Amino acid sequence: MRLVFFIVAAGMFAVTNLLPSAFASETPAVGASAPDFTLPSQDGTVSLKDYRGKWVVVYFYPRDQTQGCTIEAHNFQRDQPQYGQRSAVVLGVSVDTVDSHKAFCAKEGLNFKLLADTEHKVVKEYGSTMEYKGVEIAARNTFIVDPQGKIVRVYTNVDPNKHSAEVLAALDDLQKGTATK
């Protein structure tokens, strides 16, 4: 009986480690060009290339109107003046629809762009997918893109309670480094 269990377990291990997962894509590395995208937002179409020359915070989040996502969005909203002082733009991305984003923004008083990746292309390009209860959603990951379009910081599995402050501190460090070069 033990031998049969061992053989079955070894076979399952081999199969799960050899077959690529639909959700297993790597996040772009620091120093890589940020994958460009064009997506609809709650108030128009947004392209990453439109923000060349600015710092861009691209944050992926699972769902509108959920507790962690609402906390994270409120913190990014609260800190909008500080992002502006750093010449930085915040773009939120989920697989929710534009209508969902409109309702979320209206209910929560959000005025930065939330992008609808309903085809899941951008979340995959950024290695930011996960499965929850059999549904593919965006993982809670963030990328800081410098004014030249390069990824300079990557955060995975972030804590929504303190993430905006963490990103602001990183922007300060990154911008000091840029000023001294």
**C-alpha angle 22-23-27 in degrees, rounded to nearest 5:** 125
Q: Report if residue 19 sits inside a domain.
A: no
Q: Report if residue 172 sits inside a domain.
A: yes
DSSP annotation of 48: G
Q: Report if residue 133 sits inside a domain.
A: yes
Q: Report if residue 66 sits inside a domain.
A: yes
Q: Report if residue 153 sits inside a domain.
A: yes
pLDDT per residue as tens digits for the range 46-55 = 999 999 999 9
Q: What is the pLDDT of residue 177?
A: 74
The whole-angstrom separation of Cα 99 and Cα 104 is 9
CATH number, domain with residue 115: 3.40.30.10
Q: What is the pLDDT of residue 27?
A: 87
Helix (H, G, I), strand (E, B) or coil at 69: helix
Q: What is the pLDDT of residue 26?
A: 87
Q: What is the pLDDT of residue 25?
A: 65
Helix (H, G, I), strand (E, B) or coil at 54: coil
| Domain count for the chain | 1
Q: Report if residue 168 sits inside a domain.
A: yes
Q: What is the pLDDT of residue 78?
A: 97
Domain of 137?
A: 25-180
Q: What is the pLDDT of residue 179?
A: 52
pLDDT less than 70: residues of the chain: 1-25, 178-181
Q: Report if residue 67 sits inside a domain.
A: yes
Q: Please give the distance of CA 66 from its chain centroid, rounded to a whole number.
A: 16
Q: Which residues contact 95 (CB under 8 A, 6 or more apart)?
A: 116, 117, 118, 120, 123, 136, 137, 138
Residue type, 158: V
Positions annotated as catalytic residues are 69
Question: Is the CB of residue 164 less than 8 Å from the CB of residue 81?
Answer: no
What pairing do the DSSP bridges indicate for beta strands 113-116 and 129-132? unpaired
Q: Report if residue 8 sits inside a domain.
A: no
